[in-house]
Chain A
Amino acid sequence: MAGGLQGYSGSDDYIASKALMEIVNVAVILRKPLVVKGEPGTGKTLLAHSIARALDKKLLIWNIKSTTKARDGLYVYDTVQRLNDARFKDKDISDIRQYIKMGKLGQSFSSDEQVILLIDEIDKADIEFPNDLLNELDEMSFHINELDEEVTAKHRPIVIITSNSEKELPDAFLRRCLFYYIEFPDGEMMEKIIKVHYPDIEDKLVREALKKFYWIREMEGLKKRPSTSELLDWIKALALGGIKIEKINNEIPFLGTLLKNEQDTDRFVRVSTNQGGFGFRRR
């Protein structure tokens, strides 16, 4: 990496593909927000944690909910508290500053060192939400009306934004960001991921389990395909339950950890009996 003193190359508990590492590094150098999209369980949120650990920086997490407003991330002016205090004479209410509470974005701007800001699941919020943040992320500054003061980032934070593609993000917002779509990991990658989580598990068990896992994932007509977190749960269950490898060949123990609704389980039973036992297709 040209001039990349602080190169990110994954951390010991997170496996990132080479392309993703390169893009993270470019995002860090150019100080551009990075939008990471992908299926649930592809490790979008963990990426920010991993970057924070690898670069040894503080991580601020702004969890977005359907009711989150862009302003909440900047600051909140606690009017009710001030009104309440105004009734009694024991407090000086002329200083508005004490009623201004910084949101996560505000904190990341006013921090004395560079931080990593994770805006998690931005698509949960209202469709207009990302647009309301355009200027703040572009200029890395915002205005506090009540104080008539400008808050400017002392150190531009590294901004990682994750999206589940529940809603599409506005073009104007995306134009200002780097974009990366995390593909669902293939077998090889998945093996590495499992190794990171459970280093002691037998190779053969993992391989058999993976075969089954991808077979179920490719089954047509499933409402919710199992993802990485389900696989990890399942493998843990298999290992703890001391299931013999031969047993996985003939049936799926703990199916409930992989398929989480009734229709999918029905569908699975129908398909697997139709195929006469378990026919594997290679991915």
Chain B
Amino acid sequence: MHPIQTARSDGPVQGIFSPREIERQMRIEFERAQRHKIPIVCMLVAVDRLAQLQDLYGHESEQEILRSAIRVLRASTRDSDLLTPLADDRLLAIFPHTPPDVAAVLARRVLAGARKLRFERDGRTLGISLSIGVAHNQHDGSLSFDTLVRVAEEGLAVADAAGGDRFVETELYQLYEQRRQKDAERAKRQAEFAGGEPAGASREDRLLELLTGEGHDVQNLKGVDVDTVVRAIHSLRSVESAAATAGGEGDDALRSARERIDVLERRIAKLTQILGITEEELQRVATMKGIDLGIASIYRTVQGLSAEATQRARKVAMMREIFEANLEFRRQLPPEEPRPASSA
């Protein structure tokens, strides 16, 4: 789908630009920003689990939630910022003259505003949260308006996959995309030259495809671990070193190895980012459930009774008695039959 496909006409937005109008404005604004090197930030915003909320509480509720989300965004922006709804009930906001570090502050403010929203439905109080993808134009190289929105879309997908209620700033998507295209072209050329299977079918390349391909989703990364990527880099480093020693004929191999190392290092960066998000999400869920993840490990060091425990001596004796009773009971049990050796 085109990243700025317009929203339906009965959408929730009243009193702001029409989608067509704002698209034209955004393109003008973006071109101006590129020409004069003005920082510009693009945010793509989605209400978490909106489809489920619509299923549960109906279209009217969905529209009310969207209107409230727009009000939160409006309250956090200036008059000169541009805001429009897109298809799939996402919202696109463009902030001219806004540097990347301010974008993070802005995104946090919007998230905090959304968390405060409350809706009464069927006697229940509902809260909502947002996922936000953030992109900016402060990169080297050319960048089109559509690509900027795609970069934000990438961040939104990662934020959503990580459970929502967060923003993800994406910077390198464009570079990934360019590199992926180059890799694909190179693989095709090699295949044509060799007359065999296209190159790039190795595990590493499949991983790369997963990491940089369409539909970035944490689910896609099942089975990918950092160890594998690091091992691949080590192996390529040895190729690089051998090629450097060989000289002449080794130039191509050296170049190729360096390119692949570059790819793998970017892959690690992405994996690291996703791991961080996943861990944050686990921490958030654990906090919501009132679980302290650290206690299980910490307890190892405070195992047993402290010296100040009340009735310590008596409790120590009781612990020993329980242990000895269990030990004695185990002794009374018939010995366990050895497990049959597993066949090779």
A binds B: no
B residues with a Cβ closer than 8 A to A are none
